[in-house]
A and B are shown apart, each in its own frame.
Chain A
Amino acid sequence: MTRPQVAALVTLRLFIGWHFLYEGLAKLVNPYWTSAEYLDQAGWLFKKQFVALAASPTAVIVVDFLNEWGLLLIGLGLLFGLFTRTAAVAGITLLLLYYIVAPPLVGISSAVPREGSYLIVNKVLIEAAALAVVLLFNTSRSFGLDGLIFRRGPDAAIPSEPSVARAQS
């Protein structure tokens, strides 16, 4: 992989990490934030389950907690390149959950205001796809703490990455 390719992948990972971290932090410090309204207007798959979650104050507290801390920890993971694969998988899962609550599909109207125009593909789905790239082209062993932690592990080397190649040369 060329240097610009690696730089682009690392930048992508850092940006998504930044976004998750700030989303989590912003929700955490806002006492009025709640996932209830978003869940309540579910209009597609698992509609019943999402609505039931929104209806239960206890469930909402749990969902809010998982969301806030989930976003924050995934963000830190991606940013630092720490447990990156786990963070990426968790991030994709979370994004897909957001997507299926309010997907921009024909015939499904959503109460969530949109800042752009979307048909089937929206920014949530694109971010999930970008995270899949981060997952499959992992840069964290060279540009992240995973490199320090898992270096001694059996599959520490990522030969295609220039930094690893240099270390071995």
Chain B
Amino acid sequence: MSDAASNDPTRISRRGWLQSLVAVPVLGVFVFNYLKKRAADDARKQAIMSELGVTESGPAIIPNAISKPPGSKIRVGIIGYGGEGESLVRHAGFASPKWLEDAKKSVAEDPRDKQLDTYLHQDDLNVALTAVCELFDVRAERAIAASQIDQRPGGAAANPPAKRYRRYTDLLESKDVDAVIIATPDVWHSRITIDAAAAGKHVYCEKCMTRTEEEARAMHEAVTRSHVVFQLGHQNRQSEAHNKAREVIAAGVLGPITLVEATTNRNTPWGAWVWDIEAEGSPQTIDWDQFQELAPHKVAFSPERFFRWRCWYDYGTGLAGDLLSHEYDAVNQILGVGIPKSCAASGGIYYFKDGRDAPDTFQAVYEYPDRDLTFVYSATLANGRDRGLALMGHDATMVVGGALTVQADGDSTRYAEKIKDGVIDPGQPLFTYRPGFKGIDAVTSATERYFASRGLLYTYRGGRRVSAYHLLIGEWLDVIRNGGQTSCNIDRGFEEAITCHMATRSYLEGRKVTWDPVRRRIM
């Protein structure tokens, strides 16, 4: 080496080179350990997944909301435009001007509020809202305003205003109606559905399917004999997590399931059916006689009873028909349990002592001896603790809601070896399925949060948030156009109605009731 070279300040000595590359051995250690960790994680996951026989991806079969583009326009009539009716009509593509105004205000206040975005991004279902039957004038006007709204999903064009009918029978006679959405109090469901089926109008009916057992039998028979397409409003049928749960159960991941626990905890007056009484509601603006026409007890005009009808068994079915019905239908969707052998229910009006006769605290125990299974429903409307829906098997427990978690049981037979080997940790979820959505939704009210946590408000398709109501209505319209089966058809509806009525009967009569599958009677 020459002196000139060794004195060159820019020349890098061997030591300098080595020092500059100090990171190389460190990176070597990093890469080695990273790959080791990944391989260990992958092997563990692989071992669990191959043992389980399920995949981490979305459910293999998701009932498609729309199998073909909606070809022909379907003309829909709404019967009952209260809170639920307004929501269903909006999910069919017709928001009321007042709702739009409120939704815009909410978004301005909280950008996480996605309700307007969800509405505007719904598929255009190619329907027209042509007819409205509503007993309260103010709501009828609101429905008519919604029918001609120009802010439609997918930029669809506005329609001419819907015609108002004072009686549903007149609406069913109309030649401008192909299908009806029934969102009246439960007491009317059966009568209207039977008449609609006779008139050849397709039916989307809210739960609970009927108010009584007799109505359920009559309605089942009428719809089965007709050619109309029937859908019962259980949105969980479209929830990705529920469909995935069905797949996981089919793979036998939980082992023998002996106990299913479904729950309802809500802790707001709204969640306990103490709904707003609209100031304009009076005997002049409400057809009170028609409202209570089918109710077992007739009383003088009562705004409480009109606006908060779920609090009374004269019009509704209490916790059994309102919320147990959803939980039961989810269990029926996942396990296919059908009608139970027996039911013992109890409860009471322990918190909302406001004159109601439907209990605010309600428990029902159903037995399925043929399935070696007990299904317990436990509810209170005066506590907000989230207990979820849990399916308990000998080998694992599954909790279903907006997401899905499966946790191995420490004393499982099937996983004993893998637990011993440390491949499966019973303290950690074996499997978590979270429908894919990157982003945060604000769910505004406590009741909405309750529904969202149960997969009843929104679900995700291809990572995009979609309303489960919208998908269920879309499916119904698709079957009307293209044939096939709705996911909550009249047979599932009959099972739902009978199961709910068993609990109500048991509670009201203070005894255990049983189902006679031959005579098709609650005994």
Docked complex Cα distance between A151 and B10 (Å): 6
Q: Are A14 and B23 in contact, CB atoms less than 8 angstroms apart?
A: yes
Docked complex Cα distance between A147 and B168 (Å): 85
Q: Are B23 and A79 in contact, CB atoms less than 8 angstroms apart?
A: yes
Residue B34 at the chain A interface, CB threshold 8 Å: yes
A54 and B439 in contact (CB under 8 A), knowing A21-B30, A167-B16, A168-B9? yes
Residue A34 at the chain B interface, CB threshold 8 Å: yes
Interface centre among B13, B22, B30 (most CB of A within 10 A): B22
B21: nearest residue on chain A (CB-CB)? A145
The segment out of A55-63, A88-96, A99-107 that lies at the interface is A55-63
In whole Å, how far is B404's beta carbon from the nearest beta carbon of chain A?
13
Q: Are A55 and B440 in contact, CB atoms less than 8 angstroms apart?
A: yes
Interfacial residues of chain B within 284-333, with CB under 8 A of chain A in the complex: none
Docked complex Cα distance between A113 and B30 (Å): 27
A57 and B22 in contact (CB under 8 A), knowing A32-B434, A147-B16, A151-B12? no
Residues on B with beta carbons closer than 8 Å to the beta carbon of A39: 440
Q: Are A60 and B20 in contact, CB atoms less than 8 angstroms apart?
A: no
A57 and B111 in contact (CB under 8 A), knowing A21-B30, A147-B20? no
B26: nearest residue on chain A (CB-CB)? A14
In whole Å, how far is B425's beta carbon from the nearest beta carbon of chain A?
19
A52 and B20 in contact (CB under 8 A), knowing A60-B438, A61-B438? no
Residue B5 at the chain A interface, CB threshold 8 Å: no
Residue A44 at the chain B interface, CB threshold 8 Å: no
Q: Are B442 and A55 in contact, CB atoms less than 8 angstroms apart?
A: yes
Docked complex Cα distance between A36 and B440 (Å): 6
A145: nearest residue on chain B (CB-CB)? B20
Interfacial residues of chain A within 24-40, with CB under 8 A of chain B in the complex: 25, 29, 32, 34, 36-37, 39-40
Docked complex Cα distance between A54 and B442 (Å): 10
Q: Are B22 and A10 in contact, CB atoms less than 8 angstroms apart?
A: yes
Q: Are A52 and B34 in contact, CB atoms less than 8 angstroms apart?
A: no
Residues on A with beta carbons closer than 8 Å to the beta carbon of B438: 34, 36, 57, 60-61, 64
In whole Å, how far is A81's beta carbon from the nearest beta carbon of chain B?
6
Contact of B439 among A14, A55, A142, A143 (CB under 8 A): A55
Q: Are A57 and B439 in contact, CB atoms less than 8 angstroms apart?
A: yes
Residues on B with beta carbons closer than 8 Å to the beta carbon of A55: 111-114, 439-442
In whole Å, how far is B104's beta carbon from the nearest beta carbon of chain A?
15
Contact of A56 among B9, B30, B111 (CB under 8 A): B111
Interface centre among B16, B20, B30, B38 (most CB of A within 10 A): B20
Residues on A with beta carbons closer than 8 Å to the beta carbon of B434: 32
In whole Å, how far is B342's beta carbon from the nearest beta carbon of chain A?
42
Residues on A with beta carbons closer than 8 Å to the beta carbon of B15: 163, 166
Give B109-120 as 1s and 0s: 1 = Cβ < 8 Å from A's Cβ atoms: 011111000000
In whole Å, how far is B278's beta carbon from the nearest beta carbon of chain A?
32
Residues on B with beta carbons closer than 8 Å to the beta carbon of A142: 16, 19-20
Residues on B with beta carbons closer than 8 Å to the beta carbon of A10: 22
Residue A70 at the chain B interface, CB threshold 8 Å: no
Residue B27 at the chain A interface, CB threshold 8 Å: yes
Residues on B with beta carbons closer than 8 Å to the beta carbon of A64: 438
Q: Are A81 and B22 in contact, CB atoms less than 8 angstroms apart?
A: yes
Residue A69 at the chain B interface, CB threshold 8 Å: no
In whole Å, how far is A26's beta carbon from the nearest beta carbon of chain B?
9
Docked complex Cα distance between A56 and B441 (Å): 9
Residues on B with beta carbons closer than 8 Å to the beta carbon of A80: 23, 27
B441: nearest residue on chain A (CB-CB)? A55
Interface centre among B10, B15, B114, B440 (most CB of A within 10 A): B440
Residues on B with beta carbons closer than 8 Å to the beta carbon of A167: 9, 12-13, 16
B464: nearest residue on chain A (CB-CB)? A57
Interfacial residues of chain A within 121-153, with CB under 8 A of chain B in the complex: 142-145, 147-148, 151-152
Residues on B with beta carbons closer than 8 Å to the beta carbon of A54: 112, 439-440
Residues on A with beta carbons closer than 8 Å to the beta carbon of B110: 51
Q: A55-B111, A79-B23, A148-B20 are in contact. List 16 more A-B contacts (CB 8 A).
A: A25-B34, A36-B439, A51-B111, A51-B440, A55-B439, A57-B438, A60-B439, A79-B26, A79-B27, A79-B30, A80-B23, A142-B16, A143-B20, A147-B19, A148-B12, A168-B9
9 A-B residue pairs with CB within 8 Å = A10-B22, A51-B112, A52-B111, A54-B112, A55-B114, A56-B439, A57-B437, A145-B23, A163-B15
